[in-house]
């Protein structure tokens, strides 16, 4: 109602004002409040009470959420694959929240559907698909599930036979470094417990293409059915890229669906410097792209892109109230696993228009370069140990303070992460590589400098040294 316009303007101004003043004043990525304290603050809010008015509710949100939010734009945030956001996308998010279109049917979105389709075509063209198609999703997890569903149906159709008989014999091939959503998808898709076959890697986390050929042969020889090969273009931990072109060669030879999970590495599609790293992606049958990772988009913004538009039909379902057969309207619900669906494409659209594709690619290039330089510094630091090299923007390392043997170094990983998190001064992640824990930086902030990350590493070393000292005291005591 137009009578709400003054209130709308006032409230959005107030909301942006609150965020702006927090962003101006925060000096670290997290307040460091304890979980008990946060739980108490959350529990203290009486959700059964009568309304306090929007201004007061926003004031509370400021005190509760903004005060204790994790700030991804802070240069000392270096933990997970969640990025600081491009401002044009933030503005677009405000627009789409207010308009609230749903891109499931054309008659709920009109030009929005056409804009999303245009971006799908644009992404497909960047991949190198001549007549690709696809749909926006909630994230890489959903995109991978969707792709593997299409692969299952495609394989089933080619193989013939009863679903109940064929499904337990299907295999998905991926490396141990592939995203866990591959295993989860296999479960959801009703495949057997042992459906996901781990293809050996080259020792640095990249799929060994010759080993893939051997695995495909072995699966066939055992009377099983290779349903899909998942190549990861940017593994979540090491940030390395499977040799897509060589993998595609074997998939073609065996007539197997190739899915490329480029949730992390999709930013390479707009990188002039590093596009070659995903050469061969155009030979995939489906590709996952997470714009909310390397395109600096707010969550959520992801897509599944397919090379053959007809493949999408496997997920189409008829509902009388949604997609009447007599009209020709482009209803995206026919392509999606979701029904009501956000117009996330508006954010990417606005960002592309505001910055241009090259600039987004440069932003990704900048964090790749930052990771390379930080990797060099870690390699040269006797107190730290670099664990492998990333092709993208992660950095894996261990801290080895004086007096800490290997076992102590392993134990320090989780402790250091926790100490930093509890201080709120720097956020880093941890993972396990080749059976040993290590710390992980995921660098996605193009504005973070080498000295910003050096500061994070100093905090890591200080925390480790303090923990070692503490242990000595305990031993003495
Ligand atoms: C992050 C990630 C995913 C999952 O994406 P979400 O958007 O978090 O659901 C899948 N694959 C890879 C390689 C990832 O890094």
Does the domain made of 102-355 have the CATH classification 3.40.605.10? Answer: no
* DSSP 8-state code for residue 233: B
Q: Max CA-CA distance within the chain? A: 82
Q: Tens-digit pLDDT profile for the chain (477 aa)? A: 789 999 999 999 999 999 999 999 999 999 999 999 999 999 999 999 999 999 999 999 999 999 999 999 999 999 999 999 999 999 999 999 999 999 999 999 999 999 999 999 999 999 999 999 999 999 999 999 999 999 999 999 999 889 999 999 999 999 999 999 999 999 999 999 999 999 999 999 999 999 999 999 999 999 999 999 999 999 999 999 999 999 999 999 999 999 999 999 999 999 999 999 999 999 999 999 999 999 999 999 999 999 999 999 998 877 777 666 667 889 999 999 999 999 999 999 999 999 999 999 999 999 999 999 999 999 999 999 999 999 999 999 999 998 889 999 999 999 999 999 999 999 999 999 999 999 999 999 999 999 999 999 999 999 999 999 887 665 544
- The torsion region of residue 208 among left (phi > 0), alpha (psi -120 to 50) and beta comes to beta
* CA 139 – ligand 1 centroid, Å: 7
Question: Tokens for 349?
Answer: 């659209």
Binning the chain into helix, strand and coil, the percentages to the nearest 5 are: 50, 15, 35
Task: State the closest ligand 1 atom to the C-alpha of 235, by its place in the atom list counted from 1.
Answer: 13
Question: Which residue owns the Cα nearest ligand 1 atom 5?
Answer: 140
Q: Which of 289, 293, 338 maximizes ligand 1 atoms within 8 Å of its Cβ, making it the mutation to test the pocket?
A: 293
At residue 8, the pLDDT reads 96
* CA 362 – ligand 1 centroid, Å: 22
Architecture of domain 358-469: Alpha-Beta Complex (3.90)
* CA 179 – ligand 1 centroid, Å: 7
Q: Which of 140, 206, 237, 391 maximizes ligand 1 atoms within 8 Å of its Cβ, making it the mutation to test the pocket?
A: 140
Ligand 1 contact via 238 beta carbon (within 6 Å): no
Cβ(102)–Cβ(340) below 8 Å: yes
Ligand 1 contact via 139 beta carbon (within 6 Å): yes
* 3-state class (DSSP) for residue 135: strand
Q: Which of 207, 290, 344 maximizes ligand 1 atoms within 8 Å of its Cβ, making it the mutation to test the pocket?
A: 290
Beta bridge partners of 433: 436
* CA 36 – ligand 1 centroid, Å: 30
CA distance 160 to 153: 10
CA distance 238 to 228: 23
CA distance 136 to 280: 22
Ligand 1 contact via 290 beta carbon (within 6 Å): yes
Only one residue has tokens 């994070």, namely 456
Residue ranges matching CATH 3.90.1150.170 in the chain: 358-469
Residue ranges matching CATH 3.40.640.10 in the chain: 102-355
């Amino acid at each position: 109602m137009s009578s709400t316009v003054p209130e709308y303007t006032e409230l959005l101004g107030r909301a942006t004002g609150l965020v702006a003043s927090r962003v101006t004043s925060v000096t670290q990525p997290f307040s460091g409040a304890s979980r008990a304290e946060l739980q108490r603050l959350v529990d203290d809010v009486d959700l059964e009470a009568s309304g306090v008015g929007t201004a007061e509710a926003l004031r509370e949100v400021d005190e509760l959420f903004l005060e204790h939010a994790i700030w991804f734009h802070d240069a000392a945030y270096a933990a997970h694959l969640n990025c600081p956001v491009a401002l044009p996308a933030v503005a677009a998010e405000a627009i789409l929240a207010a308009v609230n279109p749903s891109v499931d049917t054309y008659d709920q979105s009109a030009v929005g559907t056409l804009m999303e389709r245009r971006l799908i075509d644009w992404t497909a063209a960047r991949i190198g698909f001549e007549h690709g198609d696809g749909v926006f999703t909630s994230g890489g997890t959903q995109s991978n599930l969707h792709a593997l569903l299409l692969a299952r149906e495609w394989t089933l159709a080619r193989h013939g036979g009863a679903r109940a008989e064929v499904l337990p014999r299907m295999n998905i091939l991926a490396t141990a470094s592939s995203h866990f959503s591959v295993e989860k998808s296999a479960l959801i898709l009703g495949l057997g417990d042992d459906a996901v076959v781990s293809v050996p890697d080259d020792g640095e986390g990249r799929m060994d293409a010759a080993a893939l050929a051997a695995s495909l042969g072995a699966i066939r020889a055992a009377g099983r059915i290779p349903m899909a090969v998942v190549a990861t273009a940017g593994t979540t931990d090491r940030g390395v890229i499977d040799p897509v072109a060589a993998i595609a060669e074997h998939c073609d030879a065996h007539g197997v669906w190739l899915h490329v999970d480029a949730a992390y590495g999709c930013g390479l599609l707009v990188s002039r410097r590093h596009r070659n790293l995903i050469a061969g992606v155009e030979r995939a049958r489906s590709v996952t792209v997470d714009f909310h990772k390397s395109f600096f988009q707010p969550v959520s913004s992801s897509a599944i892109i397919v090379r053959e538009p007809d493949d999408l039909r496997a997920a189409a379902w008829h509902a009388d109230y949604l997609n009447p057969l007599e009209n020709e309207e482009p209803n995206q619900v026919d392509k999606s696993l979701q029904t009501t669906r956000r117009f996330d494409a508006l954010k990417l659209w606005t960002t592309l228009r505001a910055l241009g594709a090259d600039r987004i690619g440069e932003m990704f290039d900048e964090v790749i370069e930052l990771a390379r330089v930080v990797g060099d510094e870690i390699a040269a630091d006797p107190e730290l140990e670099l664990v492998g090299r990333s092709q993208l923007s992660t950095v894996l390392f261990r801290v080895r303070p004086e007096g800490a043997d290997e076992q102590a170094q392993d134990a320090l990983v989780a402790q250091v992460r926790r100490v930093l998190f509890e201080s709120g001064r720097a956020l880093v992640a941890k993972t396990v590589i080749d059976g040993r824990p290590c710390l992980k930086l995921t660098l996605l902030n193009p504005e973070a400098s080498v000295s910003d990350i050096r500061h994070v590493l100093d905090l890591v070393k200080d925390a480790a040294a303090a923990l070692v000292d503490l242990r000595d005291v305990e031993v003495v005591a």
